[in-house]
Structure 1
């Protein structure tokens, strides 16, 4: 991934006047410009659960318990999880049976746990270091413009 894409994302995100438009454009941007994805979106922390937010892809699970699945585990542990084969992840929640690998990045701003950025691929081991770093930078841009 390259710097030009990050600059384009920054310009797009900067124009967002609220969190819904920000997250909607972020998920659309990633789905459009990162190859071999079948889902890109957000789960937001609300009422002690992760609740489905803006996304691109097939319909998804509406509510995830903190600590459950890849998303819930990433959120609870406050760390990025790059899962090469989701079928080997104990407790994986299969919203889309076509997903084979998953990258989940927790979203935390000023100590406030907002939720997670969830990206799925039908390809095993899809998220190499370069792609993970790019999506981490996208997440930092999202947090820069996210209003808490």
Structure 2
């Protein structure tokens, strides 16, 4: 099913694919992805990456209000994405056990694992919205395709 939202993700994918050709640096690519998504997608309140480093999740490039710099291990939606090795869509974060509220304005969230060239989960893309139920299957599919551009050449 091709909707307006999936069409927008496809256009963003093509735009990001062209932009990230300039460098193979994953942090630079993440910064570009976060900025573009944050400013082009409706409902995105906080858009960014958390890196898995020495067993901890620490904030990487992002757009939006100040973030939690480190996320408590095995707690919240980002860690759920890391531990499950799959995307997690949460319609109401206040109903998610162990949700970490970096901002009280966030009401829904999607987390997409980022895998390196070897297929290891090394980070997550985290997007929060002020709206309840902002994210769905179209967002999951579109964002999973986009985060593949962090390490793919």
TM-score after normalising by structure 1? 0.91
Give the distance between the partners of 2:151 and 2:66, measured in 1 at CA: 25
- Quick check: 82-91 or 71-80, which moved more? 71-80
List alignment gaps of at least 5 residues for structure 2: 1-5
CA shift, 1:108, in A, is 1.8
Aligned residue in 2 for 1:68? 75
CA shift, 1:143, in A, is 3.1
Give the distance between the partners of 2:21 and 2:113, measured in 1 at CA: 21
Instruction: Report runs of 4+ in structure 1 exceeding 3 Å deviation.
Output: none
CA shift, 1:64, in A, is 1.3
CA shift, 1:56, in A, is 0.4
Aligned length: 145
Give the distance between the partners of 1:42 and 1:71, measured in 2 at CA: 10
8 Å contact 1:107–1:117 — kept in the other structure?
A: yes
List alignment gaps of at least 5 residues for structure 1: none
TM-score after normalising by structure 2? 0.88
Query: Residue 36 in 1 paired to residue 36 in 2?
Result: no
CA shift, 1:19, in A, is 2.2
Q: CA RMSD in A?
A: 1.3
